[in-house]
A and B are shown apart, each in its own frame.
Chain A
Amino acid sequence: MLPQNRELCRGVYGITLADGRFKTARLTAALFLPLQADTAEEYALLPRLLIRGCERYPDFTALHRRLNQLYGAEITGDVARIGETQALVLTAECTADRFALSGEALTAACAELLCDMLFRPVLDNGLFRLADVETERRCLAEEVRAQINEKQWYARRRAEQLLCPHEAYGIGRYGIAERIETLTPEAMTAAWRRALQQASVQLLIQDEAALPQVEAAFRNGFSAVEGRTPVPCATDTSVRLPQLRRETERMDVGQCKLVMGFRTACAEPDEQVAATRLMCALLGGTATSLLMRNVREKLSLCYYCSAQYDRLKGLMFVQSGVDEKNAARTETEILRQIETIRAGYFTDSELEDARRCMVQAFEAVNDSQPSVGAWYVSQGLASAPKTPGQTKQEIAAVTREQVIAAAQRITPECVYLLAPKEGSSHE
């Protein structure tokens, strides 16, 4: 049965995904807002601030003792970038009531806490507490700066900035550390009120039974927000760079990270998205992709070489870790494999291998509650969200010609290389 996305009140939608296989109840509230340079940091900080407490549990330690009493219930808050939308995601997870040793109503208690955090956070004279804001903005700024620690992801982030210098996508999901550090209780309180007024909201209820009281609590909460007018979120997929941008950054590392950025000229809701997805899998999305077979196995140039497609923004990134002396050769080989697809020089067997792999990945989504949750959140606020089964059918229907056409549409727009300084070492 297809999940129904019911409008609970203006701009607030709820999907109930009852599944008796799971021993865990999971509730997600995702607030969708446009990703913009002047609000990116405050919206990135907001979920973290909200889950620090609520009126009933203003003390952080007391809140977490309560969560432990609820059998290790967890409430998390973070932000995701979905195309050029920021999704502020609060999630509560707890053991299903039937496993409580003393028959406690765990799910209802968790839902109540989640609702309290969103609508009744801890305020002091009408503002978020300075100590809370200081702690969370420091943590977020440290996390942003720590992106440099894992070079593979740092390089990917730098490539995104190189590819999208004037687009919201280039802001990233957290924004800039220096701007995070300037956020005040006043700014955060205003951001919270604005988010409640302007966000489109997706509520996901993953529990054995639908919880009318959860829906009612969120409906009542949002209905009480004065001046609530959800703003539309859109992703600009029209931008093209006039010429290839190339950047080499030197750092004290032993291995080069090569990231190539491409425009695919295909993004949601284009009907060729499925073909582009399959093309990307054929190129570098599986253990037997063209990149793995050739760049890694035949040429032994790298340990990893993979391609990822962002279907909401219409971008593709190819990433690899190589010796600097092999970086140019790897880049040439990656382009050669793309040419191979454009020219149709791949076998039916290679295409079917990629398709099988994707089909099974979609079939597996329903076996994991977090995957199901991420699946629906990642669709933004679709009026008729696709199920994993529907997407699987789309992949199954893609033709060889459509894959070739998808490859013919892509254009390289940036090459980023993180390379060692001369004589780099870590001692």
Chain B
Amino acid sequence: MSEWKELVCTRSGERCYYQRHASGLPVYVWPKENYSTTYAVFATRYGAIDTAFVESNATEPTVLPAGIAHYLEHKLFENEDCDAFERYAATGANANAYTSYDHTAYLFSCTQNPYDSLEILLDFVQSPYFTEQTVEKERGIIGQEIRMCEDSPSRRVFCNLMTALYHNHPVRIDIAGTVESIAEITPELLYGCYRNFYNLHNMVLVVAGNITCDEVQAVADRLLKPAPEGVPQRAPVAEPLTAAQPRIEVHMPVAVPLFYLGYKVPFDTRSGLHDESAKQIAAAQVLEELIGGKANPLYASLMEQGLINPSFEVSYFSGPGYGVWLMGGESVDPDEVCAAFKQEIARLKEQGIPPEEFETARNAVYGRMISQTDNVESCGDLLIEAHLCGRSPFSVLDEVASLDIQSVYDRLLTDFDEQACALSLVLPITSEV
């Protein structure tokens, strides 16, 4: 039996537990005293950016159609005997799943029968069953999901930005694929993806809430099937430092233009890994607050000029081989907002970050991170993100608390390069002519 290692957050008093299960699966448990809810996530390091794999008996990679990770997520719910949702219905758990750029996650939350639901989760994710008929049936459902996303301006403005920023990295392709690309998906391809990416060494289980380590371990011991050593390596992608195109526009039925200005962060893509340290992430979070928060006079100024509204946001996100700063929302004049934002970045680069503004921004990020652990689902998601990024769960909070101004300034200097910048716009149809 593997030992549980205790992980303690000295600042919040929260504690969780980790072990690598004998099957090869990393397992985290975060008991939350006096909570009714249990939240579990079983995830694999396989997402939309994994566009090829090499079978053990092959030399050439199998190239995958766009959207297959998401399609596999849908199909895994259907086993030979029944649908996983029907099994969950007997426990009352609220189940779901999602596919992101770099991972696929299966999850549930419940207040009763958590271990029965955990059994269902571990069982169906390890029991793929794809036939011509079941794969075909899903095509209509996912086709409608794709159509729904195509009609969403907020999704379009984001996906188009990624296409404009990246030349080669598969993050430039929509996670769900297209109606045409999913037409190429077959049961054989799904089984190939499953064999390659759904290895327990490549996965992680997180359970937070009204549970104990011993009970989670008992379920894991019963359900997890030992997996062969080895995890798939992500193929490195040669990505130039510049943006693929500076501007991308599309017309849709919207009232006010939607826009995202994006900066592609220079990453070492040779490893194909997500290799930002907790300190770098902490610095990015504080910088988000400094340049995009309401305490920056830029926000009030743009509001008063009628150029932004509360949809305005500045955020940073990253994954294996990609990292992007986003600034956007709705605006009657996106170009004017972009010009003002670029001017603000230039000003801060030149004049530096005022220490008192740094302190208050750091305080704000720290306080919000403390409050985040009030919520069982947030605890589970925090563990998933930390594990997939190779960090310990509480490391970013620790780094925020002890962060120095220079680390934030360093990010400001390296992350905002005009050549690595693109603007994505969704414009009202009336402005087309």
Contact = CB atoms under 8 A, between A and B. Distances in A.
Interface of A: 21-24, 60-61, 64-65, 67-73, 93-95, 99, 101, 131, 135, 138-139, 142-143, 145-146, 148-152, 251-255, 286-288, 292, 296-297, 300-304, 321-323, 353, 356-357, 359-361, 363-364, 366-369, 426-427
Given A60-B300, A150-B154, A427-B250, A93 B371 contact: yes
A254 B112 contact: no
Interface in B131-171: 137-142, 144-145, 147-148, 150-154, 156
A426 B250 contact: yes
Given A72-B364, A149-B255, 7 more contacts: A61-B295, A73-B367, A142-B256, A149-B258, A300-B137, A300-B141, A363-B36
A427 B371 contact: no
A151 to B, nearest CB: 5
Interface string B303-339: 1101001110000000000000000001000000000
Nearest to B87: A288
Contacts of B366: 71-72, 101
Contacts of B33: 21
A143 B92 contact: no
B37 interface: yes
B419 interface: no
Interface string B219-235: 00000000000000000
Interface of B: 11-12, 32-37, 83, 85-86, 88-96, 109-112, 137-142, 144-145, 147-148, 150-154, 156, 209, 250-256, 258, 289, 293-297, 299-300, 303-304, 306, 309-311, 330, 357, 360-361, 363-368, 370-371, 373-376, 401, 429
30 contacts: A21-B33, A21-B374, A23-B373, A68-B293, A68-B360, A68-B361, A71-B370, A73-B367, A93-B371, A95-B367, A131-B304, A135-B306, A146-B311, A255-B150, A287-B96, A288-B85, A297-B83, A300-B137, A300-B140, A300-B141, A303-B141, A303-B145, A321-B148, A323-B147, A357-B94, A366-B36, A367-B209, A369-B374, A426-B150, A427-B251
Contacts of A71: 363-364, 366-368, 370
Contacts of B94: 287, 357, 360-361
A286 B403 CA distance: 45
Contact of A69 (B154, B299, B363): B363
Contacts of A301: 140, 144
A29 B137 CA distance: 50
Nearest to B14: A23
Contacts of A322: 144
Contacts of A255: 144, 147-148, 150-151
A287 B95 contact: yes
A251 B147 CA distance: 14
